[in-house]
Amino acid sequence: MKKLNIAIGSFLAIAVVSVLSFSCGNPQKSMSGAYTYETECMGVEGDGSQTLKAWGNGRNREDAIEQAKKNGVRDVLFQGIRSGKTECNSKPVLFEVNIREKKEDYFNAFFADGGPYKEFITGEDGSDMHLSVMQGKKKVGDQVTYGVVIRIQRAKLKERMIQDGIMSK
């Protein structure tokens, strides 16, 4: 009986150690995969454009950067910018409830690869290129996360929404 208790005790000890060692893997990798990065305000320019740090996920660097740009425009349109400096307009351009779903065809085309959303993004120097790309963070599986610093032309974006009949003056 004594040998049986020792055997059971040894088995339980090995089981506990095994569970702990598997669950204590690389915490950075698992945290990065589950963490959602918010678009942050970095400042507002004299013309009303907002400089943002936006994040995106993708299969590779280019896909993640493209997604980050889309996420920046999407957040200005539908959510407003709430993180980072308080200078940015925390109100979204579009206030209507469920406008993205109601005008799904329009916004699917607007945010398509190479779509019109790109007209409202400039880099830090005013060019149409993004200049600052944040260090990539590995995600679970084969996904990567990158951040970009972009400037969103908020006034022009609002004009376009009015012109296209998505919102009224």
Report in angstroms the alpha-carbon separations of 167 from 61, 100, 108, 116.
34, 12, 17, 17
User: Tens digit of pLDDT for each residue in 47-104?
Assistant: 889 999 999 989 988 898 999 999 999 999 999 998 888 888 889 999 888 999 999 9
Mean pLDDT (whole number) for 145-154: 91
Count of alpha carbons within 13 angstroms of residue 84, beta-carbon side: 20
Count of alpha carbons within 13 angstroms of residue 124, beta-carbon side: 9
User: Rounded to two decimals, what is the model's pTM?
Assistant: 0.72
- With cut-offs at 50, 70 and 90, classify the pLDDT of residue 22: very low
Phi-psi region of 110 (alpha: psi -120 to 50; beta: other; left: phi over 0): alpha
- Find tokens 């409830």 and name the residue: 97
User: Tens digit of pLDDT for each residue in 99-135?
Assistant: 999 999 999 999 999 899 999 998 644 455 445 666 5
* Strand partners for 125: none
Report in angstroms the alpha-carbon separations of 74 from 44, 65, 108, 138, 147.
17, 14, 12, 23, 15
